[in-house]
Chains A and B, each alone.
Chain A
Amino acid sequence: MTGFHTMFSTLGKLALATTLAAGALVAPAVAAAPFDQAMSIVSDPKALATRSGEAEQLFRQCLSGAPDNVEGWFNLGLLLERKGDLAGARDAYQKALGVKADYLPAQARIAGLDLAAGNTAALDKLEAIIKEDAFQAEARNILAEYALAQGDYAKAILHSRNVLVGDPRNVNASLNAAIAYYRQGLIDQAGLIATSALEKEPNAAALHNIMGLVYLSKDDTRSATEQFTAALDGDPNNMDALLNLAALELAYGNFESALKHFDQALKIRPRDAGVVLSRGVALRGLERFDEAQAAYEQALTLKPGFIDAEYNLCVLNHQFKSDWAQAKRWCSTYLGHIDAANPKYKEVQKRLKAAEATLKILQEKTGPGAGGGTAPAP
């Protein structure tokens, strides 16, 4: 049969010939209600975004009555990891392993935490897990993420495919595969994977987000906006979609909405200098100049030497606040960090000159010390 030899040799590469996941486990006798209630929250991204605390309580309630519920511990770990409580998450995964030592999802998540902490030895653990279960989704997805970070896209795709062979609906596997293509500039392939995955999981926020980027790369801003919006419909806390949509809104000049999205993003990631800086741009657009100034300065505090913030402060003080002394300060600071080849060089040089000239005039009129106030606009 033409074509089939090749096909199955590839399948061999994908390790399909190995043993499948362990058989069905005996369901522990647990109080079903809290677990099921919690599952109904966490299975719905929208509910998860707003009621994760409630879900956490329900899992805890369930586990207090039935501490041998391995999935309960695992899911609690996922929730804690998601909210940034990595120690709590690790503890929950460990408890899952306490119930069932060979519970591979928990082993994989712990290895993932180790890897995120810089412990590359965790990679061996993850490899061991997929040797045991070729389609182990958690391990493969973590390995795919690591491969993406390393720029090893072929490996990322291989891991993702193996997850999909075991679970064709796994959103993160489809997402990782699509990212691998996207980052290689293979936009159509990325779009194809995301589209196919969305057929199965039409509300998956992360897939809508990558579709938005696919459209953006084709200059189709409208469709991109629709996709980012769809992503946020599916999961109002999807950070990528929040930031992408807010960035587009800034470009449209829709500052109110951009500010709202940046505020939402900062609730999730309050120390992100880029988001703080962008929020400042939205505030400037809304003519809330002092708040913009504060935001830029906060961005600089969060990320010292953040020259983008210096430029924004230069523009804000020169063009919008007419604070010539501050303008001079930030424009010259920025100029000190870039060279003449920088596309902003000439512009900032002009701003600096204008600020200096105005200061000079003011000083001539009122004597040294005059800097801010109501000097004529440049």
Chain B
Amino acid sequence: MKRILGWAVVAVLASALAAPAVLAAAPKGKAPAAEQKKPGFGGQTKTRDRKIRGDATEVSLKQSIKDQKQIIELTDRKDPGYPLQVVALADFEWDLAEWYGLQAYSEAIEKPMYEAEQRGDKKAVEKYKKQQQSYLDKKQAYQDQTIATYKEVIHDFPTSKRLDEVRYFLAYNLTEMGRAAEGVDEYTALIGAHPSSPFVPDAIVNIGEYYFDNNDFANALRLYQQVDKFPDANIRGYAMYKQAWCQYNLGDHQLSLSQFIAVIKLAEERALAGAKQAIQLKREAQNDMVLPYSKVGRAEKAIDFLKQYAPERYLELAGKLALIYTEQNEFARSTKLLRDLIAEARKGAIAGQDKSYMVVTFQRQIVDNAIKSGDKGNTVTEIAELLRTWDEMHAAAPEAFQKEEQEEIKRLILEVAATYQKEWDGTKDPKTLEYTQRLYDEYLRVFGGDENAYQIAMNNALLLKATEKFDEAAAAFEKVIRMRPEGEYTDAAAEQAVLCYLKVVQIENKRVKTEAEDDLKPEDLSPDQQRFVSAIDRWMEIIAKKGPNPESQDNIGPARFAAAKVYYNANQFEESARRFVEFIAKHPSHRLVNDARRHVLSAYNLAHDVDNLVKYANEYDAIASLPEDLKSDIRKIRNELNFQECFKFQNKGEHLKAAQCFEQYARDFPNEDRAPAAIYNAGINYFEARKVKKALDAQLDLYARYRSNELAPKALYAMGEMFRQTTVYDEAVKVYETFVRNHRGHPLEEKALRYASIYRKTLGDYKEAIANLNTWLARFGNQPNAPAVHLDIIKILEKQEKWSQIVSAAGSHLKKYPDEPASVRLEVLARRGFAYDELGKHKEAHAAFEETVAYFAGLNEAQVQDLSMDAVSAVAHAHFNLGEEKLREARRIKLDSPSDKEMAKAITQKLTTLTNAKTVYEKVIAYHHPGWEIAAWTQLGAAYQDFASSVENATIPARIRHLPEVVDQWQQDMAERAKTIRDKAIEAYQQALDVAHRERWFNEYSEKAEAAIAQLDLTDKSVKEFRIRPDHLTPNGGAPAFHERAGASQ
């Protein structure tokens, strides 16, 4: 029976140890339970150093007992060794008790019992429990026997040797059996009876442990402190360690911290003396000192403090301290410390090892703080940072660390995401949902290949859909399908993808196209459209196999309709018609069925598939309930059959016959609605039949006679196209410009204006080109490419060499488009500089070039990656011009002074300026624009070459001119100096050519470099010989036009 010993026992002990001063202090009592902390480190006192052998059996142990009993029987009771033989018997009995204890919880019982429980086999469970209890009963019996034997020895042989040891293990075994209070009595008896026994310090500590375990830290402390009187006892360090714990639990945090430090110091001394346990004790004291530090230390000093007492482990301990702050709900303090730790860890070497990977753990702790502080936004941000840190650092970490941290991070993200998702289920707070989705997104980004990824990917897609990010959701569902094409979510994902696409792709049901208003050239589906129709087709396949899902079956019809409409919109009329027909067949009662019929007729009409047009017109005409507008369309189709017949020629490629057929129709039915279309088609077919004059005549006829018809603008535009295709660009632009003037707002207006601008510019009609671009800006200036269009104006002004106007236009441009793409801005900034240069305003040019370079320097990496080659060329050119300024400056320095001093000064000055130029050119080279790299190296070469010539041809100093031998020597010296400089020139030219060869980029500078090297270095092996130039161009160099047999084609 457990009992709490009172102050009286402690007093007895104290008196036995003659330490009244210590015991005079009043007890501080027990610390409140909630604050009590215990070490995970204990059991340091003396124990039985015998262990049951692994191969021991009940029989072998019983045999040992039997043997020992025989020995006792054979030993005279008065023999001084007799009591020890009895103790040995007790020890064998204790061994057997231990063995029974092990059997009671062995796998042989536990496993079948667990399995029986799992399968609900109560009978079997009962059987194993009985078996277990039988072992435990035997254990108890043998333990009791051991205790009885020990007591018997103590009682019967009070003067026996080693009685202190017998008493110690009697107490010890009683404690082990759960009879701690009796154990304390026996320890006390030991101390009283054997005060000088080596077992006394351990006995005191064990009594202290009893109080400690019962949260009586004041009494425990007093007992541990008694061990200070045994400075050489092995247990002393542990007793000190436990004192620190008592002080901590008693609220004496400062004392506790000091005590832990004292333990560390003692342990270090003992470890040096070879005590193995000391290393572990030191480690434990280091671990535990962070507890009192958390109470009395300053977070910002923690790293320095811990570095002092645990130089090899301070990062880990500081992390532990941060955890304690977290446990104490001091999240901000914890996070602050962790951020300091991250900075510390990133420094790299800690005690000779790179521990930078620990930033992952610290950042994970920051995440934990964020979670616990309840700030979702911050939590998600910190998780993103954690994953970024993981990406960055994990490869450098030990494998075990990586494994453990990865699991922790995954668990943490999934837990948070699951919590948020659950919360959202209840609150429907969109922000919570967004956070959840972001967490899934982040998880997939980093751990997209793990076993959870598939499930999470599906969850993520569903959440994206729930947050109405339909575009992203569709892509996410597609990803789920790609992850496991035959996976359990494939069908659901296929369906959900379509539902998302239906939200994204705006499908307008009713409008059908007309030849007059629309561009009917077949287009490829965009990647988005392609994905959309693929998703629908895939869903339809699933439905065909498994039947529709009742929850989403209403979407099947609209999905089929939408896919057909996508093809219709892309002018792929045959495919569109096939799909609309399928829609009608599968959804005859759908509300969109008449829209589908309208599209079938329109698609076959626009595809000029006369046979199908007639077929479906007849089929639909037979439907009694057909709406009047559709009936009217069908009547119109019937009336136009003569017109439609002409398409048969067209479809067979017989364009001349088709043109004549259309012309005939227009002549026969001049007042029919289709007459203008017939003329238009005649024109198109004449052109295809290479009868350009007739084609133009037809379109002009249409434009003149049916000016108010919707096809008239298209006819005019077609004339422009014909001129364009026959390279009569000057006429083409006039037509386009007429179109722009006469048909404002027409869908083809923008295209006509664009062509007109391009061709005017190409033809050198710069004034007109600029006028067109200005018109474009006035009419379409809100389009995103407006800054680029304005840049075009500046480029045209450049061709016209209107430098002042460029300066002005660039200035307006920079003000008007402050947020334009970086590529455009760089070009404008640079061009302003070029214009200033041309105007001789070199100061302004210099400023403009500097501004260009500075703007580039301010771009982030992504922006730089996105720059066009022209933009990179512009900034490199601007920077190159800055180098040219330096080069000019260097060239202006003449080496013509007759004074030695002046000459030396001039050489130094020239060299310095050249070095400056070189620095600038090197920056030009760093843009990696091959053209300007070559230019920079070549100019550098030229600069050195000039310099070498200047040195070689320098004016002979006046003081030596009259001394021919000295002049010879001087000239030789100068030639040698020139050679060194010339070598640099060769090197630079060679670099230029290396870039040219490597990048396959040749320009005037590479040619200059090649020519210069040929002059300077007769050993250079690059090609300098005469050879053909790439300028071969032979008129009529195309394959001759072989003639088909007359009448074989048109």
Residues of chain A at the chain B interface (Cβ within 8 Å): 1-4, 6-7, 10-11, 14, 16-17, 20, 24-28, 30, 35, 39, 42-43, 45, 48, 69-71, 74-75, 78, 81-82, 105, 137-138, 141-142, 144-145, 148-149, 156, 160-161, 164-172, 174-177, 179, 182, 186, 188-189, 191-193, 196-197, 200, 204-207, 209-210, 212-213, 216, 219, 221-222, 224-225, 228, 235, 238-241, 243-248, 250-253, 274-275, 277-278, 280-281, 284-285, 308-309, 311-312, 315-316, 318-320, 343-344, 346-347, 350-351, 354, 377-378
Contacts and interface: CB of A to CB of B under 8 A. Distances in A.
Contact of B731 (A7, A137, A145): A7
A319 B725 contact: no
Nearest to A183: B1033
Given A238-B1037, A350-B1018, A196 B727 contact: yes
B724 interface: yes
Given A11-B693, A70-B1046, A171-B1039, 17 more contacts: A1-B704, A2-B741, A4-B700, A105-B1043, A145-B1035, A148-B1035, A169-B690, A186-B764, A192-B729, A196-B727, A213-B1033, A216-B1030, A222-B1001, A277-B1027, A311-B1026, A316-B1025, A378-B1019
Given A2-B741, A192-B759, A244-B1031, A69 B1039 contact: no
Contact of B1043 (A74, A176, A177, A354): A74
A26 B693 CA distance: 24
7 contacts: A1-B738, A43-B1042, A179-B1033, A224-B1030, A238-B1037, A244-B1032, A280-B1025
Main secondary structure of the interface of A (DSSP, over half): helix
B1035 A179 contact: yes
Closest 8 CB pairs of A and B: A308-B1026, A25-B1046, A206-B1038, A171-B1038, A145-B1035, A278-B1027, A247-B1030, A240-B1032
Contact of B726 (A164, A192, A239, A274): A164
B1002 interface: yes
A127 to B, nearest CB: 18
Residue with the highest number of chain A CB atoms closer than 10 Å, among B704, B1031, B1032, B1047:
B1032
A30 B693 CA distance: 33
Contacts of B1042: 39, 42-43, 75, 78
A3 B1032 contact: no
Contacts of A28: 1045
Contacts of A221: 1000-1002
B585 interface: no
Given A24-B1046, A210-B1033, A378-B1019, A219 B1003 contact: yes
A167 B1041 CA distance: 11
A189 B1019 CA distance: 43
B1022 interface: yes
A186 B799 CA distance: 12
A71 B1045 contact: yes
Contacts of B193: none
A320 B1045 CA distance: 59
Contact of A239 (B692, B722, B761, B1032): B1032
Contacts of A319: 1018-1019, 1021
B1014 A347 contact: yes
Interface residues of B, number: 73
Given A71-B1044, A175-B1036, A240-B1037, A189 B1028 contact: no
Interface of B: 687, 690-694, 696, 700, 703-704, 722, 724-731, 734-735, 737-738, 741-742, 758-759, 761-764, 931, 996-997, 999-1004, 1011, 1014-1015, 1018-1019, 1021-1048
A247 B1028 contact: yes
Nearest to A282: B1027
Contacts of A78: 1040, 1042
A146 B118 CA distance: 102
A244 B1032 CA distance: 6
Contacts of A69: 1045
A275 B1045 contact: no
Contacts of B1003: 219
A43 B1044 CA distance: 10
Nearest to B1014: A347
Nearest to A162: B726
Nearest to B703: A1
B1027 A172 contact: no
Contacts of A148: 1035
Given A189-B762, A193-B727, A75 B1043 contact: yes
B1043 A248 contact: no
A45 B1038 CA distance: 9
- Kindly name the residue among B696, B730, B1043, B1044 whose own CB sees the greatest number of chain A CB atoms within 10 A: B1043
A319 to B, nearest CB: 6
B714 to A, nearest CB: 16
A235 B1039 contact: yes
B1030 A252 contact: no
A175 B1037 CA distance: 8
Contacts of A182: 1033
